[in-house]
Chain A
Amino acid sequence: MGYVINRLLQGLTVIAVMAVLVFVGVYAIGNPVDMLISPEADQAEIDATIARMGLDKPLWLQFLVFLKGAAHGDLGTSFIYNEPAVRLILERFPATLELALAAILIAVLIGIPLGVIAGLKPEQPTGRGIMAVSILGFSLPTFWVGMMLIMIFAVWLGWLPSTGRGDTVSFLGIQVSFLTVSGLRHLILPAVNLALFKTSLVIRLSRAGTREVIGQDYIKFARAKGLPESRVILVHLLKNMMIPVVTVLGLEFGSVVAFAVVTETVFSWPGIGKLLISSIVHLDRPVIVAYLMLTVMLFVTINFAVDLIYAALDPRIRRKESA
């Protein structure tokens, strides 16, 4: 219990530190009037906004006002859309989530079999070839691969669409693409693009896991018992090598969401990443602040959850922390 409270306090500290950094970055560096008021506003509007936002007050008081707003879920109103920034982001989050989950699914379905094969035959051409592909996957810049996918499958072959989400339907109250044919066709290229990097990672993890597990006594015993090789691999090996893969994928989920910024920009996927980039380009600062604060909270939550799961799985961590 002490461990849980300790981790929770750490998470809250991170959020507080990030709030200070974002506040200092956006409100205090440069002229906050230029940053927070639309350039098209006239003098009366500017004066009114300055008074309303308390920009004439000392910095520490401004920070308290910012915190008070943040605690109520109010991080400002977008200049471009004239809507609360938090709502803009929450509206677009399902699209990003769908893309990220599809990418992770692809990474697992392709990466684990390839990694296991490479781990079973590390010195043979198959194993070496798979590892070469994985090095390439780490080195290829995501945005360039996305452009090449568009060039090949959308421009030259004309098989798949390259922009947008296609038709969406409501599923559990949110709009999703994967349940319509058009949506699914739109999802394929962006999901493959976003999956590239994580697939390489899963291949490496599964290969390392396989090589470690295959030498264990229980594998030898299963073989000695005369179990068919397919059962040894599909049950005994797979179950035991999955633990680190699942852990890392859980940890990497947040990074997939962050990296979706690139894929969404290339494929005009209407998620939060594309919103962030257009907000940076158009200096829509309330949306930038809202995106950063919400993403930081997402990360702190993920890290907290992972810490708790680790502690539940491994009693040594709990003891080390309390010692």
Chain B
Amino acid sequence: MMAAATATAALDVSVETPLHRLVRKFVANRIALSGLVVFAAITLLAVAAPLVAPQNPYDLATLDIIDGSLEPGMTNIDGKPYLLGTDEQGRDMLSAILYGLRISIGIGVGSTVIALVIGLALGLFAAYSGGWRDTLVMRLVDLQLGFPPILIALILLAILGRGVDKVMIALVALQWAYYARTVRATALVERRKEYIEAARCLALPYSRIVFGHLMPNCLPPLIVVATMQVAHAIALEATLSFLGVGVPVTEPSLGMLIANGFDFMMSGRYWVSFFPGITLLVTVVSINLVGDHLRDILNPRLQK
């Protein structure tokens, strides 16, 4: 009876896939879980911005200059409340923030996904083919990682000009190297393991070994890097837009909103840039909490 119970328990453990274990360990940490919940809520609000925002902040017909520079919580003469105040054109800051989040998160997540695919492909290619191809890719990675990201972004945007697509190109160009390096390092370890050898002995085609066997096992460390990179990308995009080299005025991200409020802050109207800043901060911190914990879970040195 006892032996049977032990056997079932042992069976349960062996049935648990790495993904299940990951989810179980992740959910066990309250701080990381709340980070994920907060980020999910922010993303949902951003996606649903046209439905939940009190106003379309870029439809000039809904703006009235009389409502300009209202303090947070004030109502205009019609009794319409402005929870986070308005800017000088009478734009509701809450609506502007929700629409800004769409652009910020869209650029951050979009560029990360594109860079991830490129980095994954190049990293696998370098690790699996070896030789001069490997050297070429890794020299390129070294070259790029030798410079701080903001400098490379400034170089690219100085050449390309402003625009949502151009910021995304710059962010993709910045990020791919991190993924390529991570994937290559993991793939070099994984390709020596038995299951790859087994797949080779079965004479499986090259593409199936790389994409069906090698790639899935290189993903865990990549997920950690990608999570952190989404936060970096959002913060960097905000910085570039603040500097005036990022998104154009017509598509204001959070960074752009903060920059717009900079002049008003000097005259004490803090809310125009304070609340977009808080939103940016909460978004970045929630992603970092998730990433930090994922790293702890997946770090073999911390596993007991």
Contacts and interface: CB of A to CB of B under 8 A. Distances in A.
A29 B157 CA distance: 13
B259 to A, nearest CB: 8
B159 A29 contact: yes
A138 interface: yes
A25 B155 contact: yes
Given A277-B243, A277-B244, A277-B245, A299 B147 contact: yes
A7 to B, nearest CB: 12
B285 A151 contact: no
Contacts of B151: 258, 295, 299
A147 B245 contact: no
Interface in A207-239: none
Given A139-B281, A262-B243, A276-B154, A147 B262 contact: yes
A143 interface: yes
Chain B interface mostly helix, strand, loop or mixed?
helix
Interface string B218-259: 000000000000010001001100111100000000010010
Given A25-B155, A26-B159, A277-B243, A135 B288 contact: yes
Given A139-B231, A292-B155, A258 B150 contact: yes
Given A151-B265, A277-B244, A140 B148 contact: no
Given A259-B148, A277-B244, A147 B239 contact: no
A265 interface: yes
A155 B265 contact: yes
Nearest to A14: B143
B101 interface: no
A22 interface: yes
Nearest to B259: A143
Nearest to A277: B243
B239 to A, nearest CB: 6
A144 interface: yes
A150 B147 CA distance: 29
A280 interface: yes
Given A155-B266, A280-B158, A144 B277 contact: yes
A144 B281 contact: yes
Interface string B55-95: 00000000000000000000000000000000000000000
A263 to B, nearest CB: 11
Contacts of A22: 155
Interface in A247-286: 254-255, 258-259, 261-262, 265, 276-277, 280-281
A180 to B, nearest CB: 25
B195 interface: no
B280 interface: yes
For B239, B255, B289, which residue has the most chain A Cβ atoms within 10 angstroms?
Answer: B239
Secondary structure class of chain A's binding surface, majority of residues: helix
Given A281-B244, A303-B146, A144 B154 contact: no
Contacts of A29: 159
Given A155-B266, A259-B148, A148 B155 contact: no
Given A25-B155, A259-B148, A144 B143 contact: no
A25 B159 contact: yes
B147 A261 contact: no
Contacts of A144: 238, 258, 273, 277, 280-281
B222 to A, nearest CB: 20
A151 B235 CA distance: 21
A288 interface: yes
B292 interface: yes
A148 B270 CA distance: 9
A80 interface: no
A240 to B, nearest CB: 21
Contacts of B280: 141, 144
Given A14-B146, A258-B151, A299-B147, A148 B159 contact: no
Contact of A262 (B239, B258, B273): B239
B273 A155 contact: no
A17 interface: yes
A142 interface: yes
B127 to A, nearest CB: 20
B284 interface: yes
Contacts of A155: 265-266, 268
Given A141-B255, A155-B265, A265-B243, 16 more contacts: A14-B146, A25-B155, A135-B292, A138-B288, A141-B239, A141-B277, A141-B284, A143-B243, A144-B277, A144-B281, A147-B262, A151-B265, A262-B242, A262-B243, A277-B245, A280-B154
Interface of A: 14, 17, 21-22, 25-26, 29, 135-136, 138-144, 147-148, 150-151, 155, 254-255, 258-259, 261-262, 265, 276-277, 280-281, 288, 292, 295-296, 299, 303
24 contacts: A14-B143, A22-B155, A26-B159, A135-B285, A142-B239, A143-B243, A143-B258, A144-B277, A147-B262, A151-B270, A155-B268, A254-B147, A254-B148, A259-B148, A261-B243, A277-B243, A280-B154, A280-B157, A281-B244, A281-B245, A288-B158, A292-B158, A295-B151, A296-B147
Which 5 A-B residue pairs are closest in the complex by CB-CB distance? A25-B159, A255-B148, A258-B151, A144-B277, A258-B148
